[in-house]
Structures are given as C-alpha cells and as structure tokens.
Chains A and B, each alone.
Chain A
Amino acid sequence: MDLFPLWLSLRVSLSATALTLLAGVPIAWLLARRRFPGRNLLEAVVVLPLVLPPTVLGYYLLVLIGRRGPLGQALASVGLELAFTWGAAVLAAVVGSIALVIKSVQAGFETVDVQLEQAARTLGRSEWSVFWSVTLPLAWRSVLAGTVLAFCRALGEFGITLMVAGNIPGRTQTLPLAIYDRVQANLMDEANALALVAVGIVVVLLFGLSRLARLRY
C-alpha cells in the first residue's frame, strides 16, 4: 500500500501547526491583553474560517494565490508557485486551524491574573520578559491544547486543500483526500487501513494531551 499520503499529511500538519502557533499566539495575546482600534473586527475575522464553508474559503484562497491572483503573481515574479503544491496544502491547513489556536490560547491568556504581570513589571521585567516568564508559563495548558487541536484539524483538512492544492497522487494527495479517492475507486480495504491510521494518530495525541494536563506547571 502506498503510504505517501500519510507522510505528506504528517509533514503538512506539522508545518501548518508550527506556522499556526507562530502567527496565532501573538494574535491571541493582542486580543487578550490589548485594546486597540479594529480589535472587534480582528476578533470577527479570526472566527471566519470556523464558520465559512471550506470550499468557499478554498475558492477565495485560490483567487488569491492562483496565477492571476495578487499573491500568486507576486510569488511568480520571484519564481515561486504555490497553487497545487504541498505548500498550498500547508496554507489550507493553517487557514483551517488557526482559529482554534487563537481562541484556545486567548482564553488561556485571559485566565492569567493581570496582577501577576504587573508584579513582574514592578520587578523590572520588560514586556517581552513578562510574556515569557509569567504569561506563557501560566497559560501553557491552553497553548498545548490549542496546538493539539490545530494539528488534528490540519490532519483532517479536506475542503480547502482540495480547492487550492488539488488531489494529485504522489504530490498533493493528503491522507483524507487519499481515503476519499480509495472509496471512489471502491478500494475499501485501503480506505479502511488509511482511516485506521488517522484514527490511531489522533487517539495517541489526545491520550498524550490528557497525561500532560496532569502536570502542574
């Protein structure tokens, strides 16, 4: 059996999770700790990927990164192409999962007592240091939960990926797309095996998460 979809999916999901954290944690901090113009708008935009149909999201992303799209043209001018590559699959997974990270981490930051951050400031710590030594260590559970959720969501991403990365066997066919393909081709044994692998990965992750959650800090 061809295991390429499994490796591709793991690679895509890990990359997407890393990018999601990198972009999502700062946004979550802004939403939890700062009042600025456009905050409500940002809060609404963040939730959009959760409520819009994936195909609609995928359509707009394709318009953005396609040959004629503004981003697509900009990338083409430096010799890069994103649409229908595994990079597009990563982008799809990021868009599909970033809301989960932002919401989970924002909630985590909001439960950290502002007084502790103020204490750190009076003790001479910079905002950067306050974040790394107080806010983040006290919200790590939420960050971890958001990470695992995001990874699982990225692993299961289907609609957006199909629109922007296509379903090219050996290139952009991720695990969920491969399962869909096998079912279409009536290869039920292969579909069954791949589905079991997906279930296995998620179960192991969730179990690990529940074990970690028992640690104090």
Chain B
Amino acid sequence: MSGTVSVAIVKRLPGFTLDVRWEADQSVIGLFGPSGAGKTLTLQCLAGLMRPDAGRIVVGDRVFFDAAAGVDLPPQGRRIGYVFQGYGLFPHLTVARNIAFGLRGRPRAARARRAAEVMERLGLGGLERRYPDELSGGERQRVALGRALAIDPALLLLDEPLSALDAPLRRALRDELGEILRAWGTAAVVVTHDFTEAYRLADRIVVYENGRVVQAAPRAELLWQPASETVAKIMGLRNVLRGSVVKAAPDRIQLSWRGQTLEAVNSPTRSYLPPPESPIAFFIRPEYVRLVRKDRSAPDLHHMNLMRGRIVGEADFGTVWILRIRLDAPGEPAQGEFDLEVEVPHLVYEILEIERDRHWEFSIHRGSIHVLPA
C-alpha cells in the first residue's frame, strides 16, 4: 500500500476553527494532541462525514475533496474504513453481520467468504452469532477493525481506538492493534491523546493543538526533538524549563538556569543559534538525571552539569520513585516548590538509602538536556 495522504483543510465551527495542513506517506500516521484539538474533526473530513469549508484532501491518487475544483466525494464513494471511538458496532446485528455490513453488493457467496476470512485472520472464529453486547472489550475492538478492514479500505481511520478500555487491557490491546495494523499493511490514521499510544502505533506523528498542527515528524524525532515548548507540554514531558542563552554553537549550547550554567547538545539535525541573553526553553527527562554516589570517593569525570539540592517531595510509583528536588540556590524554584523532577528505580532508592538521606549532588549529561527552539 503506497499512498500519500495529503490533508490541507479549513473548517470553521462556532467557537472553533480547524486549519491544518499535513502530508504523510508512512503506513501508520498518528494524530496526537489534547482533546478538542480537532483530531476527530480531521478524521470526519477524511471520511466525508464533515465537509471542510476550504482546502483539499488527497489519498493515494484519488482526490476526495477539493473546494476549488468542486470535488467532494460522498462517504460511500471513498472506501474508507472508520473505526469509531467506542467502536460504533451495530447492536442489533451479530458479529458476522457486522463484519459483512460493508460487503453489500457482492454476491452472497463472496460476501460470506470474505467475512469468514476476515474473522479467521482476526481470531474471531466462533463468535459469528454473538451480539456486540456479548463481547469483551478486546473482541469488540477486533470486530470493529474487521468490519472496517473487510471492505479492503484505501485508508483506515481509528479514533481513540483504546479509550473504551481500562488500563491493563489497554496496554495489551495497544500492542495487539499495532500487530494487526502491521500485518494487514493498510495505511492508517490513528487519533490519540496519549503520547505512548501514538508512539507505539504510528510511524509518523502529527501534533495538534487548538485546531492547528504544531509539529509533524517521524516518531523518534518527535520524541527526542519536540519542536517547541508547546509540543513538549502537549507530550506531557516533565521538567520543561526556561533559562537564557549564554553561548550557542552548532554542536553545543550553554545556558544559564537558576544561577547554574548548563551545557546542552544542540540539535544535530537543525542547529539552533539564538543570540546570547535570549530566553530559551529546554527539558530534562526525569529518568536521565543521575544522583552522585557518596560512597565513591574518586570524582567521576563523566559527571557534568553538577548541581546540589535537597529532596522536598517524593512519590512511590511502584517500580520507580519520583523525587522532587529543590536546588541549593537562591531565588524561587522553577516549578513551584521544586526545581527538578528526578526518577530513580526502586532498587537504587533502597541501595542509596534515599529515604534517610535527603541532600544530594546530581548530574545531567549534556545529551540529556533537550533544547526547545522558540
């Protein structure tokens, strides 16, 4: 399935305007962003259930919508598989009839064969005569997928496919969904407000905020190089901080924060060279902050960006502890009561006896301080 999905649309609603433009030829595209950012609206426009005010939608070599040329294919003519939030299974039809619903128009035998084949591939054998309310969450998801995939769609749309499930099931089904998407090889657009989900399912991620696209990048690039503070916040990154530039070079950036001078690696793909004194946003992943062991006397040369601070708050998350650290520096802490969130494995917490010892020196490798271009 090699098809480029190209979306450039404007849709004005009372109190909200969707104005997005993105293009992707990856097989699974993630639309990621907070609720109400316009992700579902984009899916509806793609499916032909909502008519944009302006713009163009092209999937593969088929123009679905082109306001200027007066093209607007009805949903029936788009061959789009839409897996709705909450699945939208027909409650009055059995699993078999749900899956065969889009096959009308084919000969009866062909219909039955296709439905049986889809059910077999999705592991739904034996459930033919069940009704949707007699299925588990995972089975419902597969029936919804099967119904959409049965018509051999040009593009599969999935709206928050996992939101109807509770947490443990959610993780299992996320991986199952990923496998199904890869196995069928159908181009897909997945809407989610959960970054982990977007990262696990999509090859390319388009970040939405308030009706606009704030970044579109391959998933790894997004993970390590959010384009802005806004994107970092939407991704739920912790320790998104603000300092000022001391010196910027193509490979390194020195910045000043809370009276400390920190050294960070500049972005390898697009060097960012702001003038000295200019404000700069950056983030530090809590799991990349290293506590300096007090039982090792020799100074460790690998430690850089050394700082001292005191633990002012902590929370046990089972396998890890989250520590809130306030620097030994004058002035207001950066994040209310504290400056940095630091994540340490449970075992480390016990070995270092952090419960008793509240005052620590810690270091951050320059590669773990991520600069966010303004």
A123 touches B91 (CB 8 A): no
Interface stretch, picked from A35-43, A101-109, A110-118, is A110-118
A-B contacts besides A121-B74, A124-B102, 10 pairs, CB < 8 Å: A118-B88, A119-B88, A119-B147, A121-B48, A122-B78, A124-B76, A124-B105, A124-B151, A125-B101, A137-B92
Contacting residue for B90 out of A116, A121, A126, A129, CB 8 A = A116
Contacting residue for B49 out of A121, A124, A125, A216, CB 8 A = A121
Interface stretch, picked from B79-87, B192-200, B248-256, B269-277, is B79-87
Q: Among the interface residues A116, A118, A124, A126, which one has the most CB atoms of the partner chain B within 10 A?
A: A124
Chain A residues with CB under 8 A of B104: 124-125, 129
Q: Tell me if A89 is interfacial: C-beta within 8 Å of chain B.
A: no
A123 touches B88 (CB 8 A): no
**B224-261 vs A: 1/0 string, CB under 8 Å?**
00000000000000000000000000000000000000
Q: Tell me if A217 is interfacial: C-beta within 8 Å of chain B.
A: yes
Chain A residues with CB under 8 A of B75: 118, 121-122
Q: Tell me if B47 is interfacial: C-beta within 8 Å of chain A.
A: yes
**A120-142 vs B: 1/0 string, CB under 8 Å?**
11111110010001100110000
A119 touches B105 (CB 8 A): no
CA distance A134 to B105 in the complex (A): 17
Q: Contact residues of A with B, CB < 8 Å?
A: 113, 115-116, 118-126, 129, 133-134, 137-138, 216-217
Chain B residues with CB under 8 A of A121: 48-49, 74-76
Look across to chain B and name the residue whose beta carbon is closest to the beta carbon of A113. Answer: B88
- State which size class the interface on B falls in: 20 to 34
Question: Considering the complex, which residues of chain B in the window 85-121 have a beta carbon less than 8 Å from any beta carbon of chain A?
Answer: 86, 88, 90-92, 101-102, 104-105
Given contacts A116-B90, A138-B92, A217-B92, contact A123 B102 (CB under 8 A): yes
B84 touches A119 (CB 8 A): yes
A116 touches B88 (CB 8 A): yes
Look across to chain B and name the residue whose beta carbon is closest to the beta carbon of A217. Answer: B92
Please list 19 pairs of residues, one from A and one from B, whose beta carbons are closer than 8 Å in the complex, sorted by A's number: A115-B86, A115-B88, A118-B49, A118-B82, A119-B88, A121-B48, A122-B48, A122-B75, A122-B78, A122-B82, A122-B102, A122-B148, A123-B147, A123-B151, A125-B101, A125-B102, A125-B104, A138-B91, A216-B92
Chain A residues with CB under 8 A of B90: 116, 119-120, 134
Chain B residues with CB under 8 A of A125: 76, 101-102, 104
